[in-house]
Amino acid sequence: IKKVAVLTSGGDSPGMNAAVRSVVRTCAYHQIECLGVYRGYEGLIEGDFLELDARSVKGIINKGGTMLKSARSKNFRTKEGRKQAYKSLKDKNVDGLVVIGGDGSFTGALIFNQEFNFPVMGIPGTIDNDIFGTTHTLGFDTALNTVVDAIDKIRDTASSHNRLFFVEVMGRDVGHIALNCGIAGGAEEILIPEEDLGLERLVESLNKSRKSGKSSSIVIVAEGDKIGKNIFELKDYVDENMEGYDVRVSVLGHMQRGGAPSCFDRVLASRMGVKAVEAMLDGESNFMVGLKNGKMELTPLDSAIKGKTKINLELLRVSDIMST
Ligand code: F6P
């Protein structure tokens, strides 16, 4: 491998810049060239590259978003699009590709490898933490801190007005953000897709805590949860079936994806970038780098895509006990 290209794809996450920096500097350290690709696979198809050396990535380790921009490319899903992308890489003599993104981006990378036998390596970047093969994806820790900070602020106003708040958090089809932030933010209830509590059980539990002397409550709702899918209907139902609470909804939205990456995400990104480039230099391809038992480990891309992350049952129990 003499020249590596790096791109960020799918929903951005804090720590992507730190990962780009790490890939570029690891290439410089091993004296190989590095190209950045703008706008994920879209830029790959169009040949929208920029040359990156160790100095080009100064001052970005602490920045949210991605300097390379990101996109969810429809064109790369077509054979023609991927052919064009291969041509762009060959024209620039690139012989390895590092993809920073989520499972959709990895699926694209895997198909691309199978079609053109082009070496690819994945770095998991998404706030959702829904990738198999790593205990943490890039951006998850930062998003947790952002959400907890928001919950703390909502709690101030909730308790001043004796209100019940439903706070919707991101996470797509999984409840990792909701569960962790619910515990850290002292939530009364946490609704996640992995566990269907049912509306009646929710109302019963909220009534019980009201009677036990709680004057305000926060319920964290994962965006993918069945009951929470329409959070405003949930609010109406609770309004009609519970007395004594003024109910409000707060949807945190895309602010969860922004902000300076936490120390944890910066260190993780730096480690993942080194591992990704060095694994490629060792001749590996079709893997994702991940954090397992405190170490950088490789997981085959197809397992990373197909595998499911599990919700931590111990955390569920802790959250139940804490809301006593
Ligand atoms: O995958 C990251 C994520 O932020 C999810 O939590 C959320 O469901 C989705 O992306 C939002 O996507 P978009 O940025 O396209 O609105």
Q: How much distance in Å is there from the Cα of 175 to the middle of ligand 1?
A: 13
Give the span between the Cα atoms of 304 and 311, in whole angstroms.
16
> Which string of b and e fits 120-154 if b means at least 16 CB within 10 Å?
bbbbbbbbbbbbbbbebbbbbbbbbbbbbebbeeb
Report the pLDDT value the prediction gives residue 242, as an integer from 0 to 100. Answer: 86
Mean pLDDT along residues 40-67:
98
Mean pLDDT along residues 154-182:
97
Contact (Cβ atoms closer than 8 angstroms) between residue 131 and residue 99: no
Nearest CA to ligand 1 atom 11: 11
CB of 104 shorter than 6 A to ligand 1 = no
Cα dihedral sign for 286, 290, 296, 302?
negative
Nearest CA to ligand 1 atom 15: 11
CB of 171 shorter than 6 A to ligand 1 = yes
3-state secondary structure of 278: helix
Q: Tell me: pLDDT of 110 over 90.
A: yes
The ipTM, to two decimals, is 0.98
3-state secondary structure of 316: helix
pTM of the model: 0.97
189-222 confidence digits (pLDDT tens):
999 999 988 899 999 989 988 888 888 899 999 9
CB of 128 shorter than 6 A to ligand 1 = yes
Least Cα distance to 12 among 176, 170, 158 occurs for: 170
Cα dihedral sign for 185, 186, 187, 192?
positive
Contact (Cβ atoms closer than 8 angstroms) between residue 99 and residue 121: yes
231-263 confidence digits (pLDDT tens):
999 999 999 988 878 999 999 999 999 999 999
Cα dihedral sign for 279, 280, 281, 283?
positive
Looking at per-residue confidence, does 108 or 229 come out higher? 108
Q: For strand 217-222 and strand 163-169, is the pairing parallel, antiparallel, or unpaired?
A: parallel
269-291 confidence digits (pLDDT tens):
999 999 999 999 999 999 999 99
CB atoms within 10 A of CB 72: 17
CB of 131 shorter than 6 A to ligand 1 = no
Least Cα distance to 314 among 183, 218, 220 occurs for: 183
